Structure 1
Amino acid sequence: MTKSDRQISERTKSEAKTTAILSGAMKEFLQNGYAGTSMDKVAKSARVSKATVYSHFGDKENLFNAVMQDLVKDKFQQVMSLEKPQSLEQDPQVVLSGMMTKMLANIQNNRSFQDFMRIIIGESGRFPELAKAYVNNVAKPTIEILTKYLKSHPALELADPEATVRVMMGTMVYFVMLQEMLHGKDIVPLEGDRVIKTLTDLITEG
């Protein structure tokens, strides 16, 4: 085996261990919460040594951040695509409606994401760094990219694009929390497409 082949093999093994650790950590965090999860438990769940977990992620806080990033990276790909130039050439009503529809579907159909959000909210009093990690890794980049899009699109003339983004995100987050996480869909049912259409109309026609 050549040196290059050995390097590729080692990198592949390392990536496989990283995947196993993230999967094991997700299982433990969802089952035991942040405080109840230890690096020992993660190592056992991932079937690797505790030293391997520490060598890959350093400590529990970094591991939690990595799990969160891994969980949301595909969920917000549609938002990130707003940075592409062609999005500015398309009808903003179509772009925004499509983006919100995909995001809502992803979140509603992903119980792990909802349970993970419960951990962040429930543990944020004792572990404020968890909430800050969510804001830094998810909320902040989404706000920045959407604000840039609303500012840049030639068909939109908004007085305060950033505040508009906050209103849009706040509405979407509250809708998911009330309908899904608090089981409000059985008490105050409302179709997601109605919320999306209302938001899109307010932004593009208001």
Structure 2
Amino acid sequence: MLTPPNPLPVSRSNPPESKSDAKAKPDKAQAILDGALQVFTTQGFAAASMDRIAKAAGVSKPTLYSYFQDKEGLFVALIQQLVETHSPITITNAPKPDFQTPPAAFLRQIAGSVLGHTSSNQPFLSLMRLLIGESEKFPELSQTFVQELSKPVIERLAFYFEMHPDLNFPDPIVTARVFVGSVIHYIIVQYIMQGDSVMPLERERMINGLVDLILAAGMAPTNHKSA
């Protein structure tokens, strides 16, 4: 079972708040995170400062520090929030894969949902850029991305590949990683590195080609799993 993401770090305990203060607090925290996203994505982590983040968020610097102890803690909180709220892989939340759906339709549904959501999801693309740019400085954040987004869908796909009566893959985990890795590569090249103008590839063509490739390697010769 996945470990729940850590709560947003708060630097110190505060005195009891009135109901109106408590109601306003989440809005202010969100404003800080929104401002931090703007500053980090436009200036990078090294050039970003708490002064600039406070200005972008529309809060005072003391208020900023009352929520987040330092820039590193704010960056970690931002990544955790983006992972939680902007994951495009929501269709894998079902308890069990649907074995009644033909494999081709099931795989197209997954790839189409992820790519369709990601192409217009600027916060998620910003998350990817931040993680790629700062992965060496914050390796635990990249691991959070893998733990919360990549790992669940790979495990669910591998289970589907292993248990579906019409599929017969020698190594379902490797097959699932190839499928998910191809989708992530497409996202990085087309949407983050602006590769669509260098080697354009229509989304539907990518999905159809990937699904055909996977199923060509895994369709069982009979209607039951091989021994």
Tell me which interval the TM-score lies in, with the shorter structure as reference length. Answer: 0.7 to 0.9
Q: Go from structure 1 to structure 2 and tell me whether the alpha carbon gap of 1:42 and 1:154 turns closer, same or farther (over 3 Å shift).
A: farther
Tell me what 2:101 maps to.
Answer: 90
After superposition, give the CA deviation of every residue in 1:109-158 in whole Å (9 maximum; x if it has no partner).
23443344233223333443443343334333333343344344454333
What CA distance in whole angstroms lies between the structure 2 residues aligned with 1:10 and 1:156?
A: 56
SS at match of 2:46: coil
Tell me what 1:142 maps to.
Answer: 153
Tell me what 2:87 maps to.
Answer: 75
After superposition, give the CA deviation of every residue in 1:77-120 in whole Å (9 maximum; x if it has no partner).
43433x33373443332222122112112222234433442332
The structure richer in helix per residue is 1
188-197 vs 55-64, which moves further: 55-64
Letter in 2 for 1:80: T
Tell me what 1:38 maps to.
Answer: 49
C-alpha RMSD over aligned residues: 2.8
Contact 1:78 1:99 in 2 (8 A): no
Percent of aligned pairs with the same residue? 38
Give the TM-score normalised by structure 1: 0.77
Contact 1:79 1:145 in 2 (8 A): no
What CA distance in whole angstroms lies between the structure 1 residues aligned with 2:148 and 2:70?
A: 18
What CA distance in whole angstroms lies between the structure 2 residues aligned with 1:178 and 1:92?
A: 26
Contact 2:88 2:117 in 1 (8 A): no
Does 2:37 align with 1:23? no
Does 2:202 align with 1:191? yes
Give the TM-score normalised by structure 2: 0.71
What CA distance in whole angstroms lies between the structure 2 residues aligned with 1:193 and 1:102?
A: 11
Tell me what 1:3 maps to.
Answer: none
Contact 2:54 2:64 in 1 (8 A): yes
Contact 2:161 2:172 in 1 (8 A): yes
Tell me what 1:114 maps to.
Answer: 125
Contiguous gaps of at least 5 residues in structure 2:
1-17, 219-227
Does 2:29 align with 1:48? no
Letter in 2 for 1:64: F
Contact 2:88 2:118 in 1 (8 A): no
